[in-house]
A and B are shown apart, each in its own frame.
Chain A
């Protein structure tokens, strides 16, 4: 049963069940997301990303406590990796957030990445919208521990906090492309360890090389064990929020997100159509046989599949697309 009213009135049970529908892409989800869209857009979403073991969950635990002291209601999505082999997952981020469980103004949900490689799950943003509609003021999205290029979070969160730790590499790492290019606020966690001042200096240098910008990401030293620096981190996020709302950035990011939301929904449906088409094909293995033997080729098979899906003729070859 769809219980939109219960969700907007803050029933955690209704929200939890709705999240399951959305995660599983169950039929109820589509109806729910359409009905709830009008109630979204009030929450501020904060992505937390960084390498595995950087202390993301511990920092989130401290940050949520500070936001709670400011009277804000906070929802957390904690994403951990799904096994590409079995589809199973161990979702362990709650271990570091145990003391938030009984807080009435906090809702935490663990998600498996379920095959997505950008550091979040396909439905993470939709789950964030549900939390927004349920009246949470802040929606925290903690990504899986990322390597060098899983930067999808920047496309889906209002603000991104990059958590770095000393001792992961030399200064060449700091000028590489990818993860270090993101982050509206940078936290250097485990700041009690050797090398944290050096890391701050390297990150400052990297930011200087990027040239003058309207918003220069502040670097905040934090300690996940004691909570030191977390107050400054939360203040830096609030500063960014002020800039986000006052400048064009806020509207730009949110418009971009809606575009991506629409495109990704179309993409998901095409993926499903492809799966169904392949599953309904009687001669799938024979087509593979043909490619193996060299009498057929994968591209020709792909084109025939597109025709089978009913969209083959609609896709123009790149060289026929009109250039503006």
Chain B
């Protein structure tokens, strides 16, 4: 039976992973297989992990303010590896003004603090073909 596999990754240098863990747990309860890789990863590591794990979704969590640099970098590296069908979503403290730019760069959705997990689950379920 096919299962939705999601990589939850933290690019860059911030050391705050409570949000990522809460999301991972929430997605687990929705029946997804969630690969969680811990703190401080380079975009290259995230893209390579997505490739080896053959995930349909990459969720990036970032609270350091470097999202405008790091999120598009992950998207581009995934494309270079032929993984352009992977759904990339982002979360963290991200100003509303930055969201259109991130979407233009290929981030499918950005979920800011306060988003109910059911909304994220719904977005993934309706955008991933299993």
Q: In the bound complex, how far is the Cα of B37 from the Cα of A165, in angstroms? A: 24
- Interfacial chain A residues near B38, Cβ < 8 Å: 92, 94-95, 98
CB neighbors of A among B20-41 (8 A): 24-25, 27-38, 41
The contact of B31 among A12, A88, A90, A109, by CB within 8 Å, is A88
Contact between B2 and A24, CB atoms less than 8 A apart: yes
Produce 1/0 per residue, A11-41, CB < 8 A to B.
0110011011001111000000000000000
- Kindly list the 10 A-B residue pairs having the minimum CB-CB distance in the complex, ordered from nearest: A95-B38, A88-B28, A16-B54, A87-B31, A24-B2, A20-B54, A88-B31, A101-B45, A91-B35, A86-B31
CB < 8 Å neighbour of B30 from A88, A109, A112: A88
Contact partner of B48 among A19, A88, A101, CB < 8 A? Answer: A101
B126 within 8 A of A: no
Q: Is the interface of B mostly helix, strand, loop or mixed?
A: mixed
Sample of 25 A–B contacts (CB below 8 Å): A19-B54, A20-B54, A23-B3, A24-B3, A25-B1, A82-B33, A83-B29, A86-B29, A86-B31, A87-B31, A88-B34, A90-B25, A90-B36, A92-B38, A95-B38, A98-B37, A98-B45, A101-B49, A102-B45, A108-B52, A109-B52, A109-B53, A110-B35, A110-B53, A112-B33
The interface size bin for chain B is: 20 to 34
Residues in A whose Cβ lies below 8 Å from that of B122:
none
Taking Cβ atoms with an 8 Å cutoff, the residues of A that contact B are 12-13, 16-17, 19-20, 23-26, 82-83, 86-92, 94-95, 98, 101-102, 107-110, 112, 114
Q: Closest CB-CB distance, B7 to chain A, in whole Å?
A: 9
Residues in B with CB closer than 8 Å to A23 are: 3
Q: In the complex, A114 Cα to B3 Cα: how many Å?
A: 10
Find chain B residues with CB under 8 A from A112 CB.
3, 33
Contacts of B3 in A (CB 8 A): 23-24, 87, 112, 114
Q: Which of A13, A19, A89, A108 has the most chain B CB atoms inside 10 A of its CB? A: A89
Q: Given B28, B51, B53, which contacts A90 in the complex, CB threshold below 8 Å?
A: B28
**A41 smallest CB distance to B (angstroms):** 23
- Would you call B45 and A83 a contact (CB within 8 A)? no
Cβ–Cβ contact B52 & A92, under 8 A: no
CA distance A102 to B31 in the complex (A): 29
Query: Is B44's beta carbon under 8 Å from chain A?
Result: yes
Chain A residues with CB under 8 Å of B44's CB are 102
Residues on the A chain within 8 Å of B37, using CB = 94-95, 98
Closest residue of A by beta carbon distance from B29: A86
| B79, CB-defined interface residue at 8 Å | no
- B18 → chain A, closest Cβ, in Å? 15
Most chain-A CB neighbours within 10 Å: which of B24, B37, B51, B82? Answer: B37
Known: A13-B82, A86-B30, A109-B53; 20 extra A-B contacts, CB below 8 A, are A17-B54, A20-B54, A23-B3, A24-B1, A82-B33, A83-B29, A86-B28, A86-B31, A88-B34, A89-B34, A91-B36, A92-B35, A92-B38, A94-B35, A101-B41, A101-B49, A102-B44, A108-B52, A110-B35, A112-B3
Q: Which residues of A contact B5 (CB under 8 A)?
A: 20
C-alpha gap A94/B45 in the complex (Å): 11
Name the B residues within 8 Å of A86 (CB-CB).
Answer: 28-31
With A91-B33, A98-B38 already in contact, the answer to whether A26 and B45 are too (CB < 8 A) is no
